[in-house]
Amino acid sequence: MSREWTKNLRNIEPYVPGEQSKDKDIVKINANENPYPPSPKAAEVLKSFDTNKLRFYPSANSTKLKEAIAKYYKVDVSNVFVGNGSDDVLAVAFQSFFNSEKPIVYPDLTYSFYPVWCSLFGIKYKNYPVGDDFRINPEDYKEKNGGVVIPNPNAPTSLGEGLDFVEKILDYNQDSVVIIDEAYVDFGGTSSIPLIDKYENLLVTGTFSKSRSLAGLRIGFAIGSKALIDVMEAVKNSYNSYTVDSLSIEMGAASIEDDEYFKSTCKKVIKTRERVTLELEKLGFDVLDSQTNFIFVTHNKHNMKSLFEYLKTQKVFIRYFSLPRIENYVRITIGTNEEMDIFLEKTKEFILNDNK
């Protein structure tokens, strides 16, 4: 049998998600999931959902979900795209806009799916190193390019930037599509959505996985000019018109309409984050100024990989990245107060034992 087809295989290094343990008796603070349940209104949709509807294809346009998103963000429905999680939305955006001979550009320390998509879709790319303080320098993004991707706030660093920063990037790149990935913006960041009327080349992506506690449903969205959204719809419909299922459409719409619950859970996460930050600083940790539902920390006297490994033996799962510049950092998702108390207790144990 001919092996000619193997020449078409790309050397792709896949994205590695946070560990998903089968053990339910753990403190799981390694995947930036929300510690609180979805909106009660979304839960009610699930309880009353007519399973007979599953015989039929969902709305190809996900109209009910788009209308709810448009109403919440005060934009027109024609400015909204939805997909099977923000990863799907970003993948469609990469295929839609990044086909230039010039490379797309993004920070070197960021969401590790970006280079995976570039490899998968044959897109050239270039990284700009973040500063010693892990901040993104907008001046780096002046060069001509095939597109720009800026996560704001960034992951895994947890740092966010204001609208002045975003507008600098946009002003430097008027001939390129600029994607602002706002997966974590609801935990203290500043959204760029108000800028879409001013900048036709701006696409803002978001997710229901973090602040709306619906990671298991996979709901993502993008907001941008009608010109950008129309291109994305055409690309999506060239391979799968039904990327969002019927249940996700209904529960997603109910979730975004429950603004009171959404704001209350975000506030709880932020309050816990602030408390845990102070406690870790008392233990000598350096904690970056987070605008996300996680914190990124290091310690100048203790090895963070050892902390990661010790906590795992104690059934506390955090995230460690074996990467240059951040090999002595760990990322800790903000859980419930009870979960974070266990984390702090076990971290204190580690430091006490490590000092002996």
- Which tokens belong to 73? 């963000």
Domain 49-258 has CATH 3.40.50.410: no
In CATH terms, the superfamily for domain 4-37+260-354 is Aspartate Aminotransferase, domain 1 (3.90.1150.10)
pLDDT at 1: 45
Query: Is pLDDT at 7 greater than 90 in this prediction?
Result: no
pLDDT band (50, 70, 90) for residue 355:
confident
- List CB contacts of 107: < 8 A, sequence separation 6 or more: 127, 128, 129, 130, 136, 150, 151, 154
Asked if the domains at 4-37+260-354 and 49-258 fall in one CATH topology, the answer is no
* pLDDT tens-digit readout, 151-164: 999 999 999 999 99
Q: What type of residue sits at position 249?
A: I
pLDDT at 24: 73
In 3D space, the residue among 309, 243, 288, 307 whose CA is nearest the CA of residue 58 turns out to be 243
The rounded percent of the chain whose pLDDT value lies above 90 is 90
The rounded percent of the chain whose pLDDT value lies above 70 is 93
* pLDDT tens-digit readout, 168-215: 999 999 999 999 999 999 999 999 999 999 999 999 999 999 999 999
Among the ranges given (52-56, 118-122, 137-141), the one the predictor scored with the smallest mean pLDDT: 118-122
Helices (H), 22-112: 40-48, 63-73, 85-97
Distance CA 124, CA 104 (A): 6
pLDDT at 216: 96
pLDDT band (50, 70, 90) for residue 306:
very high
The mean pLDDT value for 275-285 works out to 98
Domain boundaries, the chain: 4-37+260-354, 49-258
Distance CA 249, CA 228 (A): 22
Q: What is the mean pLDDT of the chain?
A: 94
